Chains A and B, each alone.
Chain A
Amino acid sequence: MTTVSINKPNLLKFKHVKSFQPQEKDCGPVTSLNFDDNGQFLLTSSSNDTMQLYSATNCKFLDTIASKKYGCHSAIFTHAQNECIYSSTMKNFDIKYLNLETNQYLRYFSGHGALVNDLKMNPVNDTFLSSSYDESVRLWDLKISKPQVIIPSLVPNCIAYDPSGLVFALGNPENFEIGLYNLKKIQEGPFLIIKINDTTFSQWNKLEFSNNGKYLLVGSSIGKHLIFDAFTGQQLFELIGTRAFPMREFLDSGSACFTPDGEFVLGTDYDGRIAIWNHSDSISNKVLRPQGFIPCVSHETCPRSIAFNPKYSMFVTADETVDFYVYDE
């Protein structure tokens, strides 16, 4: 299998190849993007109560999964390729566990009293975290429909798992604090609290650990992202140089993401291009400007959320459309 190493010239060779636009009648922005562990499929949840399944390797639309009654948000794959969990947006706040092939619900995870804004699958085992506007973050097991742990938090909140599956981060954009919790000792408080000193950086909506476990990305849609040391909590970089997005009616899943090696950050720009920051080769405590931009061919929409394929040379962005970017020689 031919591979391409991740470096700046190669990242600049990514081309905007496809743009999937929803039908006019059921128009609605995409609220979440998620690849399965093998990077073969992409699951997006749309605000029009449907989820779309794409083949990431072929850049093809595969199927629409409707959840018309309860709505859908933050749909993510479990470690199985044909199963997903997503949160409801109507009627109740249950988390639903769905088999995509048979279209059967395997379990409802009920207990949240308000909108579940994010779900994160543990990278090691079959547990997942949910963050909700009911001032709690809950830990669930896929086999049990009742929450295993409830951690009170402020709202809005963001969650992220460490790639080792031992630590998770819980952040609150409003009090500028990110707490790192030990999953083994979840009954205790965070072992590290990262404080964001830049008070203007208030509306971040995404936390992400890099795959090498070294960095913690705090992403926002205001054209600025921060990178912290995942171990010491020290702020390392400030990524600027992209235009901020206007507010929109629905949540999004963050405007920046790490590449699978954790050496680069890709961020979306309101101008329709993708910015590339190389933080790993930079000196820390610096304000970094993008090293290059990947242009967006289509001017119909702009990218907002971004997700990088964990295995294949492609990434997607989404706002109202789902756009595929593929490495092209």
Chain B
Amino acid sequence: MSNYYRRAHASSGSYRQPQEQPQYSRSGHYQYSNGHSHQQYSSQYNQRRRYNHNDGTRRRYNDDRPHSSNNASTRQYYATNNSQSGPYVNKKSDISSRRGMSQSRYSNSNVHNTLASSSGSLPTESALLLQQRPPSVLRYNTDNLKSKFHYFDPIKGEFFNKDKMLSWKATDKEFSETGYYVVKELQDGQFKFKIKHRHPEIKASDPRNENGIMTSGKVATHRKCRNSLILLPRISYDRYSLGPPPSCEIVVYPAQDSTTTNIQDISIKNYFKKYGEISHFEAFNDPNSALPLHVYLIKYASSDGKINDAAKAAFSAVRKHESSGCFIMGFKFEVILNKHSILNNIISKFVEINVKKLQKLQENLKKAKEKEAENEKAKELQGKDITLPKEPKVDTLSHSSGSEKRIPYDLLGVVNNRPVLHVSKIFVAKHRFCVEDFKYKLRGYRCAKFIDHPTGIYIIFNDIAHAQTCSNAESGNLTIMSRSRRIPILIKFHLILPRFQNRTRFNKSSSSSNSTNVPIKYESKEEFIEATAKQILKDLEKTLHVDIKKRLIGPTVFDALDHANFPELLAKRELKEKEKRQQIASKIAEDELKRKEEAKRDFDLFGLYGGYAKSNKRNLKRHNSLALDHTSLKRKKLSNGIKPMAHLLNEETDSKETTPLNDEGITRVSKEHDEEDENMTSSSSEEEEEEAPDKKFKSESEPTTPESDHLHGIKPLVPDQNGSSDVLDASSMYKPTATEIPEPVYPPEEYDLKYSQTLSSMDLQNAIKDEEDMLILKQLLSTYTPTVTPETSAALEYKIWQSRRKVLEEEKASDWQIELNGTLFDSELQPGSSFKAEGFRKIADKLKINYLPHRRRVHQPLNTVNIHNERNEYTPELCQREESSNKEPSDSVPQEVSSSRDNRASNRRFQQDIEAQKAAIGTESELLSLNQLNKRKKPVMFARSAIHNWGLYALDSIAAKEMIIEYVGERIRQPVAEMREKRYLKNGIGSSYLFRVDENTVIDATKKGGIARFINHCCDPNCTAKIIKVGGRRRIVIYALRDIAASEELTYDYKFEREKDDEERLPCLCGAPNCKGFLN
């Protein structure tokens, strides 16, 4: 009983012991000379199996049945293993070829035969399948492996080391054969483990049914039932991987919904560079048209030769754009891995699309042609003899599409009969495109010139063919990012072909009207000389003509036309003039009549007493009447007067008139203007001169009685000797009219209660126009008799004067304000007392708007900087400097520029030297790094500015196009800039010192930066900011646009993007004549 296994063999009685089988020795050779022994095994096995069947005794489950009943049969477990090796099928050839293991093959055809004969009792399919078990293969017969307990001898069908294994009953003899279990039991107040015997004869219950657990989900099990599996990440390719290496190529092609683009291949390449090193980049063209399909094949490379890196790059590139596609320069592309024949499929698909497009185009063309032909036929039928100039097809197409565009007259010279592509101004303005956009987009074409014109953008080509190809390819295909909407916008071009094909450019340039210099080629020298001679002769002829006109004809004609020569003609002329005057007078009278009738019609009882009248109505009429008798010159002058004063200030021609800008001047102009309206007169300049002192007297008059003022009010009554028309006018005014109700002579006066809620003496005075009015007033007031003492009368007079003066002053001030700024003077700005007593206080921007722009206009350029030491203190050094500075400006400007250029060049050389030294030293030293731009800096300083808090001022005069200063600041990325902007706003830093360099970079000078940040915006700037590349970095440099005087504030255009929300807009205080009013 010591060796259970041996006993088991004994009981089966059909197996030889290993000792008895020398061929199974540990030598490891399992070669069999014949199959005899195996046949033996098999037959033995079959016998046993048959025995079992015949016997009918089924093996019982050892655990639950009385153990002693069939001990012998249950212990045959090793013998049964042999059945695995029993039914063999000869599959030698098959297996040897597949596994390449012909050496240690174990095959026996005899076995098969015996089995076939013996196992006829198994008719089922599964039984047949079972027979196909291939012969076992001995592969591992080393001693090392054989020493393992789980080494199984497939031929013998038993464990090689079975003799070393024992039954548990042999080791744990003290326990019953039914097994035991350990329980924790409470004994003497302590938990103790007790070993208890099992009772397998008791049938347990199914716990699953008891608990009703049908699904595993109710128990916290580690074996959850999952209906879906998590996808694995990309499996990296290594030496264990099977199959072909993963694709490290990607195919990039335009998305279905995006139109064909004109994106550059290099931008695609650059975009996909970020995923990995590109070893191969290929762009595919349409084989039919050789136009780019925008299908790209990108192959990634791996640096260390491992294919995995490249595949990883490709995979990540694809994965990134899997869901949403990739947008390169606003165009959508799809990215997929290049597997199988995907690339070819895509290319053929796009080619097909193109072919279809072409077909459509051709059809359209055909249709258009047919139409054209029909039209021509119709015309011919009509019998009209029209021979249309032969124009190219595209031209007719574009014409038929309804784009009848003409080149503006002023551009004709520039265009010079060349083909032009046109984009309308409305479209351009809407999206705020600029010429540069088109320049950039169409850089692939041979465009001669880009012109930004008020009517749109014109792209001139030298060649019709180029223009046509460009138009065909790009019209409706080209997209440019809209600056206002920030989406790509399709651009349509209108091709304007030269009108006259047959007229050569040579003719045109030779015609003197055009200034374009198209070089004329001459065949030979003689021809050239001839042409020159012709030209000279022409010029001579011209000068001769002029001379004759000036020196001969002129004087004789003038002499002949002397007044003295024609006395009778003069008399005639006088007569005629008189007639004319009369005619005009009668006309005016007629008009007046008409006007009066109209006035009568809308006669207003309140109007009579100085109520409000519809002023605009009056204005209309006035213009009508004025238009009749005013000369164009005078009218122009008047219209100038009507204009707001702000415009007057901006016009240089009128500046003389307005330069003596005291309040009197302004009031005078307006007053006079009013009076003109009232009187319907044309006032000549002489009249103005005469009236001016008079008025001056009026406004600054001593206390006057109402009578005197009244007199003044009816001043037009006084006949003016100079202007005869005035007299006529006045007479017509006072002509008696045939109406029942008394008519007011004067038109209803606008009566303003703005300043005083009660009727002031001033209002009264204004209301009374003539003696009649006075009479009526006196009648009205006769009922009231005030007690008049000499003191009170004196006081009254003074009070009247005082109130009158106050009203006048207020009126003056407000008029001034309105005329200057268009807004009323804000009361908050009016000091309660003297300005000196006010002290410093902050004036809100809103209030500043009221007066700042005006002040800018008045004192231009605005100087808040006073450099004191300029000519006041003369120290020897200063004198020297003065001299030198005086000398330098005396040099011509170009020389200065050239000297600065020399300077720059020498600087550059110096820089190169330093670079060389740096290379020699071999270390990156901060000390040696040189800022080139600093060298060219101009002397500037910052001080308070009228435009905005601080401004930058030139200390010296700066010539145009000189570099002034670099805009220095932190270089940050766009998202950071956005974040910072928000933070600054939150922190109350209202001023923006962010300067965009390009799409991704912004320079922030808010916290760290140079003084260039103080430069203010101006709509009419004297500087400009340019982005230049210095040492591979983009930097912002401010250049002078024009010559800048010393202590002039430096400004440039911020070029902020237009803000749609009005509340967000920043008001501009630059005060430039062309000020847009807002920064953004």
Chain A residues near B84 (CB, 8 Å)?
203, 247
Report the bound CA distance from A137 to B59 in whole Å: 19
Q: Is the CB of A150 within 8 A of B130?
A: no
Report the bound CA distance from A19 to B177 in whole Å: 46
Q: Is the CB of B200 within 8 A of A188?
A: yes
Q: Which of A73, A192, A213 has the most CB of B within 10 A?
A: A213
Q: Is the CB of A231 within 8 A of B229?
A: no
A262 is an interface residue with CB less than 8 A from chain B: yes
Report the bound CA distance from A292 to B168 in whole Å: 45
What is A's interface to B at a CB cutoff of 8 Å? 1-6, 15-21, 27-29, 31, 37, 39, 47-49, 57-61, 71, 73, 79, 88-90, 93, 111-115, 117, 121, 123-124, 132-136, 139, 146-156, 161-167, 170, 172-177, 179-193, 198-203, 210-213, 222-224, 231, 238, 240, 243-251, 260-262, 270, 287, 297-299, 309-314, 320, 324, 326-327
B220 is an interface residue with CB less than 8 A from chain A: yes
Of B230-238, B258-266, B725-733, the stretch lying at the interface with chain A is B230-238
Report the bound CA distance from A73 to B62 in whole Å: 26
A18, A149, A231, A287: which contacts B235 (Cβ < 8 A)? Answer: A18
Q: Is the CB of B232 within 8 A of A223?
A: no
Q: Is the CB of A251 within 8 A of B152?
A: yes
Chain A residues near B127 (CB, 8 Å)?
200
Q: How far is the CB of B71 from chain A (nearest CB, A)?
A: 11
A186, A213, A222: which contacts B208 (Cβ < 8 A)? Answer: A213
Report the bound CA distance from A309 to B230 in whole Å: 10
B60, B83, B168, B226: which contacts A134 (Cβ < 8 A)? Answer: B168
Chain B residues near A203 (CB, 8 Å)?
83-84
Q: Is the CB of A189 within 8 A of B64?
A: yes
Chain B residues near A20 (CB, 8 Å)?
240
30 sampled A-B residue pairs with Cβ under 8 A:
A2-B231, A3-B229, A5-B227, A17-B242, A59-B232, A60-B238, A123-B222, A124-B220, A136-B179, A152-B168, A155-B77, A161-B223, A163-B224, A174-B59, A174-B80, A188-B198, A200-B124, A202-B80, A211-B225, A213-B225, A222-B130, A240-B126, A240-B129, A245-B134, A246-B135, A247-B157, A249-B153, A260-B229, A261-B225, A312-B230
Chain A residues near B197 (CB, 8 Å)?
187
Chain B residues near A224 (CB, 8 Å)?
126, 129-130
Q: Is the CB of A3 within 8 A of B205?
A: no
Q: Is the CB of B225 within 8 A of A163?
A: yes
B855 is an interface residue with CB less than 8 A from chain A: no
Chain A residues near B236 (CB, 8 Å)?
58-60
Closest-by-CB residue of A relative to B196 is A187
Q: How many residues of B contact A (CB 8 A)?
A: 102
B62, B135, B211, B230: which contacts A1 (Cβ < 8 A)? Answer: B230
Q: Is the CB of B219 within 8 A of A165?
A: yes
A177, A238, A240, A250: which contacts B151 (Cβ < 8 A)? Answer: A250
Closest-by-CB residue of B relative to A152 is B179
User: Would A212 and B206 be within 8 Å (CB), given that A79-B222, A114-B165 are in contact?
Assistant: no
Q: How far is the CB of A256 from chain B (nearest CB, A)?
A: 14
Besides the contacts A5-B227, A327-B229, what 20 more A-B pairs have beta carbons closer than 8 Å?
A18-B240, A90-B149, A113-B170, A114-B168, A133-B165, A134-B166, A134-B168, A149-B181, A162-B208, A177-B59, A188-B203, A200-B124, A213-B214, A222-B133, A223-B129, A223-B133, A240-B129, A247-B157, A249-B138, A312-B230
B122, B147, B209, B235: which contacts A59 (Cβ < 8 A)? Answer: B235
Q: Is the CB of B222 within 8 A of A250?
A: no
Chain B residues near A114 (CB, 8 Å)?
149, 165-168
A136, A189, A213, A247: which contacts B204 (Cβ < 8 A)? Answer: A189
CB neighbors of A among B859-896 (8 A): none
CB neighbors of A among B288-333 (8 A): none
Q: Is the CB of A174 within 8 A of B64?
A: no
Chain A residues near B80 (CB, 8 Å)?
173-174, 202
User: Would A247 and B154 be within 8 Å (CB), given that A57-B233, A133-B159, A200-B122 are in contact?
Assistant: yes
Q: How far is the CB of A33 from chain B (nearest CB, A)?
A: 15
Report the bound CA distance from A287 to B125 in whole Å: 9
Determine the main DSSP class of A at the interface with B: loop
A2, A154, A161: which contacts B74 (Cβ < 8 A)? Answer: A154
Q: How far is the CB of B1064 from chain A (nearest CB, A)?
A: 43
B923 is an interface residue with CB less than 8 A from chain A: no
A73, A146, A166, A176: which contacts B207 (Cβ < 8 A)? Answer: A166
User: Would A311 and B226 be within 8 Å (CB), given that A112-B168, A150-B175 are in contact?
Assistant: yes
Q: How far is the CB of A1 from chain B (nearest CB, A)?
A: 5
Q: How far is the CB of B124 from chain A (nearest CB, A)?
A: 7
Report the bound CA distance from A326 to B236 in whole Å: 12
B61, B76, B134, B182: which contacts A270 (Cβ < 8 A)? Answer: B134
Q: Is the CB of B232 within 8 A of A312?
A: yes
Closest-by-CB residue of A relative to B234 is A58
Chain A residues near B133 (CB, 8 Å)?
222-223, 244-247
Q: Is the CB of B153 within 8 A of A212?
A: no
Q: Is the CB of A57 within 8 A of B140?
A: no
CB neighbors of A among B125-178 (8 A): 125-127, 129-130, 132-141, 145, 147-154, 157, 159, 165-172, 175, 177-178
Q: Is the CB of A175 within 8 A of B74?
A: yes
The number of inter-chain residue pairs (CB within 8 angstroms) is 374
B927 is an interface residue with CB less than 8 A from chain A: no
Chain A residues near B148 (CB, 8 Å)?
47, 49, 71, 89-90
Chain A residues near B219 (CB, 8 Å)?
124, 163-166
B1029 is an interface residue with CB less than 8 A from chain A: no
Chain A residues near B180 (CB, 8 Å)?
149-150
User: Would A212 and B232 be within 8 Å (CB), given that A71-B148, A90-B147, A200-B127 are in contact?
Assistant: no
Chain A residues near B242 (CB, 8 Å)?
16-19, 297-298
Report the bound CA distance from A47 to B204 in whole Å: 39
Closest-by-CB residue of A relative to B166 is A113
B85, B125, B126, B204: which contacts A190 (Cβ < 8 A)? Answer: B204
Q: Is the CB of A182 within 8 A of B169?
A: no
A17, A211, A250: which contacts B243 (Cβ < 8 A)? Answer: A17
A152, A191, A238, A270: which contacts B62 (Cβ < 8 A)? Answer: A152
Q: How far is the CB of A115 from chain B (nearest CB, A)?
A: 4
Closest-by-CB residue of A relative to B149 is A115
Chain A residues near B175 (CB, 8 Å)?
150
Chain B residues near A164 (CB, 8 Å)?
208, 213, 216, 218-219, 221
Chain B residues near A121 (CB, 8 Å)?
222
Q: Is the CB of A165 within 8 A of B149?
A: no
Chain A residues near B151 (CB, 8 Å)?
47, 249-250
Report the bound CA distance from A90 to B47 in whole Å: 35
Chain B residues near A187 (CB, 8 Å)?
181, 196-199, 202
Q: Is the CB of B208 within 8 A of A113?
A: no
Report the bound CA distance from A79 to B125 in whole Å: 42
Closest-by-CB residue of B relative to A26 is B144
Q: How far is the CB of B686 from chain A (nearest CB, A)?
A: 95
Q: Is the CB of B207 within 8 A of A28?
A: no
Q: Is the CB of A31 within 8 A of B166?
A: no
Chain B residues near A297 (CB, 8 Å)?
242-243
User: Would A211 and B216 be within 8 Å (CB), given that A153-B62, A250-B150, A311-B229 are in contact?
Assistant: yes
CB neighbors of A among B401-437 (8 A): none
Q: Which 10 A-B pairs rank lowest in CB-CB distance, beginning with the nearest?
A: A114-B165, A247-B154, A175-B59, A247-B136, A313-B229, A189-B200, A163-B216, A244-B133, A3-B228, A188-B204
Report the bound CA distance from A297 to B241 in whole Å: 10
B598 is an interface residue with CB less than 8 A from chain A: no
